[in-house]
Chain A
Amino acid sequence: DAMVIQNPRYQVTQFGKPVTLSCSQTLNHNVMYWYQQKSSQAPKLLFHYYDKDFNNEADTPDNFQSRRPNTSFCFLDIRSPGLGDAAMYLCATSRVQGYQPQHFGDGTRLSIL
């Protein structure tokens, strides 16, 4: 089945230790998104790629970076995780940007020790 796959499902890292979350898709969608979702809150968009074009949200901290080496894969790098970065990270894709439903992966729950 075509889908959005996020690895790992759970990630534990130490305060200040870089961590990378991965997302892959078999939908061949042009747009890939990264969201941060904290407990009892709506998902918050961090950034997205439209093909190779990277679009950062204005309030996304510099600590968060992303890479999209090809259509299928997208990575979220957190350079120096702080306690406030503990959250669920959701990857989503859409065929094009705007008006299209976004298809989400299962998420990676990040814990910071």
Chain B
Amino acid sequence: AQKVTQAQTEISVVEKEDVTLDCVYETRDTTYYLFWYKQPPSGELVFLIRRNSFDEQNEISGRYSWNFQKSTSSFNFTITASQVVDSAVYFCALSEKDQFYFGTGTSLTVIP
């Protein structure tokens, strides 16, 4: 069974539109961490955020915001007023103890 599901394989938006990337996870652990990474065309994986299972507060960082809902096992990522530089593949990940699971990624294209 997939531990982390990113149902959106590809998304295209026009610049300045808002876009939400979905992430659903599966775990039986009470302690776990969730992450988002960005992988631009150049290839490196850039760490964006880590959230632990006990902290359901939403977080905002500039144009980025994250919505963590344990009730639906979701950790969604919203980019407000998207820009061309946001074009990348975005991976959601789950860490249980010493295991780390990536989702399959969502490829975001922002059209100028």
Contacts and interface: CB of A to CB of B under 8 A. Distances in A.
Main secondary structure of the interface of B (DSSP, over half): strand
A98 B104 contact: no
Nearest to B104: A42
> Interface range on chain B: under 10, 10 to 19, 20 to 34, or 35 or more?
20 to 34
Given A98-B97, A99-B33, A99-B52, A105 B104 contact: no
A42 B91 contact: yes
A100 to B, nearest CB: 8
A18 interface: no
Interface of A: 40-43, 45, 88, 90, 92, 97-107, 109
Interface in B55-112: 91, 95-100, 102-105, 107
Interface string B28-62: 00011101010000111111001010000000000
